[in-house]
Structures are given as C-alpha cells and as structure tokens.
Chain A
Amino acid sequence: MIINKKTGSGITIIAPAGRLDAATAEDFLKSSSALTDPQSIVIDFSGIDFIDSSGLGTLVGIAREKRRADADVKLACLNEKARMVFETTQAFRLFDIYDDADTAAEAAAKS
C-alpha cells in the first residue's frame, strides 16, 4: 500500500492510496505509524477508492487509541464511494470529517 505523509499545522497528514481492506489494513497500520504517533493525525482519503469492514475496524481502532491518549483522528476528502460506506454503516458518527485536509489539520492542532 502506498502511503504519503506530509505535515500541516504541525499535524501529520497520512494519505493512503488504493484499497483499505482486510489485505491492506495491517500494512496501513504499520506503515502509517498512525498508532505510534502520540499526536492527533489526519487521514486524507482522496486516494482511497475502496474501504471494507476491516478498514473501518482499523479506523475505529485508531480513533479509540488516539482518544484514550487525549488525541484524535480527523478524516478528510472522502470520495463518494468511501462516504457511502461511512453513511451506510453510520460510522460518520464517530469521526470529524472535513472536505479539505489542511483545514482538518488546523482543527486537529487546535483540539
């Protein structure tokens, strides 16, 4: 899985590309260091074209760990397919979703 990283407002913006499913979820966790980074993070979904229940489970797991450590995970730039999965499963109730990664990073830095 290709994962791009950049920093905005002092917050790491992780931008995975491709599928976030059972086959890639573990790779995503390791490569993105989403869990090891003690700060809040932003996950930019603009490159994700498929997400399944394992991918969702991974995101929920990251969110739970971050909140336990007084940090958070913000999501940004969900495309229609990914947004539909969040809508169908009502996972949108668990995350702050932005339409722009930089604004999400600003919000994460403030919180």
Chain B
Amino acid sequence: MKTLIVIREKDYAWLLPFFPGVHPLVVPICNKPFIEFLIDFAIFAGSKSVRIVSDGPLRSVEAYGQTGSRWGIELGYASIQPEDSFEKIMGKNRKYASEGRLLVISGFMFIAYRNKEELGSYFSTAPAGTLLQHTLGSVSLTGMPATEGAVPDTVPFTISGLDSIASYHRLNADILKELPSPYVLPGYSNEPDCHIGRNVVISKGAEVIKPVVIGNNVQIMKGAVVGPFAVVGSNVIIDSESTVSGSVLLDNTYIGEQLDVIDRIASGNMLIEPETGISIVMEDPHLLTGINSPNLSGAGLLRYLVHAGIAVLLILLLSVPFLLLFPLLKLRGKWITKRKTCFGESHQSTISLAFPSISGNGVLCTLAEALSLDRFPLLFKVLEGRIAVIGSNPQETGGNTGRYPSLAAGYRPALYSYAEAEDWPVNSEEGAIVERYFASHGGLFQDLVLVVKAFLNRMHSKDRQ
C-alpha cells in the first residue's frame, strides 16, 4: 500500500504567525514534528511508500524527512496548485497511484488512534472509499484489499481538528493524557507518562511532575517546577524557581527566574495565550528569550566581510555625489524617505529600514537614481551586518501575502536584489524565482559580479528612459 498526504497552504496558514520561520508541517507536537505523526499512521496502516503533496513550499519538510530511510519507507514530495480538485491531484500523481492500494490523507488534521496494531488489520480488509470525513479533511482508500476478510464495524481512528492555536495546545495535552501512549514519542521513557531527552540536567530542588515530555539539552534550575502536562522542547533553560505546567515550550526558549508559565505556549520570545490566541513578544531579554545566536562565524563571517568590503567601496565612490545631490533634492522636496519594518535574515527577526525615493524627472533626479544614491543610506546597514549588499528584496512584515520569507530558501534582505542584477522586475513572481535561485546557488564571487551588474543595470535603465 502507498499513502498520499495532501496538505494545502490555506489550511495551515493560521499557524504561521505563531511560529514564524517554522514550517507548519514540522511544528512539534509533544516534541515530535507534526508530519511524523501522519507518517507513523501511514506505516502502521501498512504503507511502504509515502508521498507528501502540497501547494506550498516543502523544502524544510524535505530537509527533515529526506528519503524516508529512517522509517524504512520511500518518502517523496510533489507540488499541486491551490485550486486543484481532488481528481486533478490524483491525475497529477497517477503514475504513483496506479499500482495497488492508495491511502489518501487530505487536510491539515491530526489522526488519533488507541491501538496501532488494530490499524494494520483494519486496512488489510477495509473497502475502498471514504473512511472518515471531517470539516478539516478526510481519510480515504482506493483499490481493492489484498486479502478478503470480514470488514471491521468500526474505524479504529478518529480525526482531531487542528485549526486554531487552542486546538494545538489541547492536542499536546490530549497526547500526554493517553496512557499507555499509542504514539511513538521522542526521548527515554522508563514510565509511560514521562519522556526525557538526552543531556537533561535537573538541578537539586527542582521538581518534575508527570506527565511530561522533555527534549534534549534542557536545564531545569533549582526550585523550578516542571509539569504536570508540560512539553519542554530542546535547548531550553528553565531558570530557578520558575513553574511550567500545562504549557508547551518550543525549542530554544529561555524561561527566566521566578516566572509562572501556566497554560501557555512559549516560542522563542513570544508567549501565547492559547484560548484567545493573544501573543506577547517579550522585549526584556532576561524574561523569555530566543537563544539563537546570530550567524557570525565561519562562512557567515566571510560573507559579511566581503559584503562590508563592497559597501565600503560603494560609500567611497558615492559619498561625494551624495553629499552634493542629497541637499539639493531634499530642499526641492524630491527626496522622500519612508521607514518600513521588514523581515530580517535570521529566525523571527525584523529590521527597520529607511527607503528613500526620488520623485521627479529632472537631470538631478535622473543622475541620483542612476548612481543609486537612494540606496546610499542603506549601505550603513550593510556595515552593521543587518542586510547584505545583494540578495533578496526586503519584504515588509505588514504584507499580507501569507508567505513568510523565512520559509523560502536563503531569504537575505539586501541593498540590491538578484532580480535587479538579472534585469527582472523586482516585485514579480519571476523576479522572486530568480532571487531564490541565486540565494541558494550563488557564491561570494558571483555576489560581487551581480552587484556590479545591478549597479550598471540601474544606470542603463535610466539611460533607456
């Protein structure tokens, strides 16, 4: 048997603002990526091959699941369009679906079951057709069963809705309630309701109350109380005399001293109240902080040095024309600056950038634009390491595209975009494709060449006008 998992971007879009930068299919539930629960279900049902189909990006899902060898199955990926009907999706995967039975899981939902052994025997005799239907999706089968036998009266699994942050929080608690758990949860487990990962330090005086799931590299300091119903991700520090219960702490979170985190979700420096969906971004680094460090080592440092070097050269080249033209344009009201908040390169970060625009058609305006003087102030952001000289067009956080740049490969806000260098329209779908191509395939030398091309392209575009 094979399994087709069909998940549409619109079904999980609600999750993106809560966990920016994390693909919803790999958002952890009890420290295990969501997609792995569906893969487990397919395997218990008897599948040897699983294909994940989506109209959204699957890159990070593929990076996690790879070929599926860790589960002993063949794992593949395919793309569809948002408007594709069920029949069209089956057509696009006809070759895959043509041999034997096919289990189709459609929708962003959690499949709950009590006994994994029952699944194999059920699917070996279950008839073709829709087995379960839910407002959020369905589970169906195609093809005839290999063995003939009595069809079980009841379906041994149910669909749990996953359509709000409250349902996400509830699901974590429900999985912890199941005893003995039918799900394979990560970590060492000597008791059925307590899973603890590697390198977990529980200091003297700290208390862990079951049921809990704790990830890898976790420090629970003295006097801290963790549980009951706590899910603690990996690389988490819970500082002394803090309490975490009924809560989900995602990876890389620091809970400061003497804090009570009760019935909440903590993701980096964001604290979410599940029932209302209200989230607070904690500014004080001593309270609750993402512990990711900026990538200024190795390749990141080398890239910064090269880009900063190019920025210094451009500053030296453009400073005299800027100092001459800027006051004249400003006085004539032709130099207008707008400040925008854009997504930064690293996980969950934002940057405030000033974007000058030059309005008018005079000689001075043309000259200033041809020399890229409107980009001159951004050169100092390159020196600060906030943006690159060449990379992606900075995307505003207020944009309602529903697509988070951090889900795309190699998003790096920059002074010039790769699309400008290749002479594609910057804000078009084609321009975005070019940006993503070079972001993942480019190198430092190529960056240098493309900066020159982008600079010259702006001159030529002004010539053409």
Residues of A that sit less than 8 Å from B by CB: 52-53, 56-57, 60, 83, 85-94, 96-100, 103, 106-107
A106 to B92, CA, bound (A): 11
Q: Are A103 and B95 in contact (CB under 8 A)?
A: yes
Q: Are B438 and A103 in contact (CB under 8 A)?
A: no
Q: Which residues of A contact B409 (CB under 8 A)?
A: 88-89
Kindly report which residue of chain B lies nearest to residue A54, judged by CB atoms: B422
A98 to B77, CA, bound (A): 12
Q: Which residues of B contact A106 (CB under 8 A)?
A: 91
A-B contact pairs, 30 of them (CB 8 A): A53-B441, A56-B433, A60-B430, A85-B437, A86-B79, A87-B57, A87-B58, A87-B59, A87-B62, A87-B79, A88-B59, A89-B409, A89-B436, A89-B437, A90-B432, A90-B436, A91-B433, A93-B429, A94-B433, A96-B81, A97-B79, A98-B91, A98-B94, A99-B94, A99-B95, A99-B96, A100-B94, A100-B95, A106-B91, A107-B88
Q: Which residues of B contact A103 (CB under 8 A)?
A: 91-92, 94-95
Shortest distance between the CB of A71 and any CB in chain B (Å): 17
Shortest distance between the CB of A77 and any CB in chain B (Å): 8
A96 to B117, CA, bound (A): 39
Answer yes or no: B26 CB below 8 A from chain A CBs: no
Q: Are A88 and B440 in contact (CB under 8 A)?
A: yes
Q: Binding site of B, secondary structure by majority: helix, strand, loop or mixed?
A: helix
Shortest distance between the CB of A108 and any CB in chain B (Å): 11
Q: A88-B440, A90-B436 are in contact. List 13 more A-B contacts (CB 8 A).
A: A52-B437, A56-B434, A56-B437, A57-B424, A60-B430, A83-B77, A87-B59, A87-B79, A89-B440, A99-B92, A99-B96, A100-B94, A103-B94
Answer yes or no: B202 CB below 8 A from chain A CBs: no
Kindly report which residue of chain A lies nearest to residue B430, judged by CB atoms: A60
Shortest distance between the CB of A91 and any CB in chain B (Å): 5
A88 to B437, CA, bound (A): 7
Kindly report which residue of chain B lies nearest to residue A100, judged by CB atoms: B95
A107 to B80, CA, bound (A): 14
Given contacts A60-B430, A87-B77, A90-B408, contact A53 B438 (CB under 8 A): yes
Answer yes or no: B78 CB below 8 A from chain A CBs: yes
Q: Are A98 and B92 in contact (CB under 8 A)?
A: yes
Q: Are B91 and A107 in contact (CB under 8 A)?
A: yes
The number of inter-chain residue pairs (CB within 8 angstroms) is 72
Answer yes or no: B158 CB below 8 A from chain A CBs: no
Kindly report which residue of chain B lies nearest to residue A56, judged by CB atoms: B433
Kindly report which residue of chain A lies nearest to residue B442, judged by CB atoms: A53
Q: Are A96 and B433 in contact (CB under 8 A)?
A: no
A71 to B438, CA, bound (A): 30
Answer yes or no: B350 CB below 8 A from chain A CBs: no
Q: Which residues of B contact A94 (CB under 8 A)?
A: 429, 433
Kindly report which residue of chain B lies nearest to residue A92, judged by CB atoms: B79
Q: Which residues of A contact B441 (CB under 8 A)?
A: 52-53
Answer yes or no: B164 CB below 8 A from chain A CBs: no
The 9 closest A-B pairs by CB, nearest first: A92-B79, A100-B95, A89-B436, A53-B437, A89-B433, A99-B95, A88-B409, A103-B94, A89-B437
Contact of A53 among B79, B91, B434 (CB under 8 A): B434
Q: Which residues of A contact B55 (CB under 8 A)?
A: 93
Digit string of B54-65 for contact with A (CB within 8 Å is 1, else 0)? 010111001000
Contact of A90 among B57, B88, B91 (CB under 8 A): B57
Digit string of B88-102 for contact with A (CB within 8 Å is 1, else 0)? 100111111000000
A78 to B91, CA, bound (A): 15
Shortest distance between the CB of B431 and any CB in chain A (Å): 10
A88 to B62, CA, bound (A): 11
Kindly report which residue of chain A lies nearest to residue B82, judged by CB atoms: A93
Kindly report which residue of chain A lies nearest to residue B9, judged by CB atoms: A93
Kindly report which residue of chain A lies nearest to residue B428, judged by CB atoms: A60
Q: Which residues of A contact B424 (CB under 8 A)?
A: 57
Q: Which residues of A contact B62 (CB under 8 A)?
A: 87
A97 to B51, CA, bound (A): 14
A85 to B438, CA, bound (A): 11
Shortest distance between the CB of A54 and any CB in chain B (Å): 9
Kindly report which residue of chain A lies nearest to residue B434, judged by CB atoms: A53
Kindly report which residue of chain A lies nearest to residue B424, judged by CB atoms: A57
Shortest distance between the CB of B277 and any CB in chain A (Å): 28
Kindly report which residue of chain B lies nearest to residue A107, judged by CB atoms: B91
Kindly report which residue of chain A lies nearest to residue B435, judged by CB atoms: A89
Kindly report which residue of chain A lies nearest to residue B438, judged by CB atoms: A53
Interface centre among B57, B429, B433 (most CB of A within 10 A): B433
A96 to B430, CA, bound (A): 16
Kindly report which residue of chain A lies nearest to residue B79, judged by CB atoms: A92
Q: State which residues 430-465 of B face A: CB under 8 Å.
A: 430, 432-434, 436-438, 440-441
